[in-house]
């Protein structure tokens, strides 16, 4: 038997829901069938201060949770002393609760970069690798070639999506790689969800870039690498450090907090070669056509 439709009944139902909901959900669970009852429900919902109408029977329960940030007692020296394969830690400060993006075109060396990052940091941090790129045999071969021999001090998991659900808030999470298939508009949402789940941890996220654009300069065919991963500008919104790779070059596309006041690391570029095993060799800082 359906309960009488009162404001207290609706308030109780709303108290148990999170985020968005539709009036039909209340119809079913409370037992509202008549046209008059549905109209009465809309009237009650319009009275509730913690409910916002989104139109067409859709509503959003307002989220009033806004914890106060104790920034006055925070320590700016509380950085995460991560090491990066091209010495990026010499130019960028990484604080707890940070996102690092490693965007690369196909075969640019994203996985190699992430594995070298793990090697540099695995003895100092709790690291979780979330893999969607390789099978266990290829992974074993690639790690072994880097001198990473079992047993190892990090964990590896198979994961393809919804990384925010499994990222540990206090660990270093390495994601190889974040792929939203053709739904590029969702990539910013997923990065934001990962960011919100972090506390003292850092997420290092590998992403795919579009292929280089072909342009003609004075009649000469030239390939121009794009900086941003699929998804465009939304992929850099949360990034404390945004690294972009392609054509045997690595660029610091974004450094939110530079480490040295006398060095501007934005767009700093490095060149490199690959060894026969696929590892980075001959790393050098690049100044246009010249290298350091």
User: How do residues 131-158 score in pLDDT, each as one tens digit?
Assistant: 998 999 999 999 999 999 999 999 999 9
Q: Which of 207, 170, 176 is nearest to 80 (CA)?
A: 170
Measure Cα distances from 255 to 98, 176, 178 in Å.
Answer: 12, 21, 21
What's the rounded Cα separation, in Å, for the pair 2 and 32?
8
Which residues sit opposite 137 in a β-bridge?
A: none
**Is residue 23 within 8 Å of residue 57, measured between CB atoms?**
yes
User: How do residues 64-86 score in pLDDT, each as one tens digit?
Assistant: 888 899 999 999 999 999 999 99
What's the rounded Cα separation, in Å, for the pair 224 and 126?
38
User: How do residues 203-232 score in pLDDT, each as one tens digit?
Assistant: 999 999 998 887 877 778 877 888 999 999
**CA angle (209, 173, 96) in 5-degree steps:** 105
Mapping DSSP onto H, E and C, the string for 176-202 reads EEECCCCCHHHHHHHHHHHHHHCCCCE
């Amino acid at each position: 038997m359906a309960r009488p439709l009162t404001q207290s009944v609706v308030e109780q139902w709303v108290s148990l829901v999170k985020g968005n909901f539709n009036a039909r959900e209340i119809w079913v669970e409370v037992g509202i069938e008549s046209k008059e009852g549905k109209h009465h429900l809309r009237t009650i919902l319009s009275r509730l201060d913690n409910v916002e109408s989104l139109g067409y029977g859709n509503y959003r329960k307002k989220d009033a949770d806004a914890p106060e940030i104790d920034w006055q007692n925070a320590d700016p020296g509380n950085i995460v002393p991560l090491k990066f394969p091209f010495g990026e830690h010499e130019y960028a400060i990484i604080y707890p609760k940070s996102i690092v993006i490693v965007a690369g075109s196909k075969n640019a060396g994203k996985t190699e970069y992430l594995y070298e990052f793990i090697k540099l940091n695995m003895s100092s941090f709790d690291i979780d690798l979330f893999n969607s790129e390789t099978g266990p045999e290829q992974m074993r071969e690639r790690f072994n070639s880097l001198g990473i021999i079992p047993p190892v001090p990090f964990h590896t998991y198979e994961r393809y999506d919804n990384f925010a659900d499994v990222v540990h808030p206090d660990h270093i999470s390495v994601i190889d790689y974040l792929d939203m298939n053709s739904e590029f508009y969702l990539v910013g949402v997923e990065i934001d969800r990962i960011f919100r789940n972090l506390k003292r941890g850092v997420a290092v996220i590998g992403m795919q870039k579009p292929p280089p654009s072909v342009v003609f300069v004075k009649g000469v065919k030239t390939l121009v690498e794009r900086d941003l991963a699929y998804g465009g500008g939304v992929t850099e919104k949360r990034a404390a450090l945004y690294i972009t790779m392609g054509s045997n070059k690595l660029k610091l596309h974004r450094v939110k907090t530079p480490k040295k006041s006398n060095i501007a690391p934005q767009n700093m570029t490095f060149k490199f070669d690959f060894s026969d095993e696929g590892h980075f060799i001959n790393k050098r800082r690049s100044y246009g056509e010249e290298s350091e």
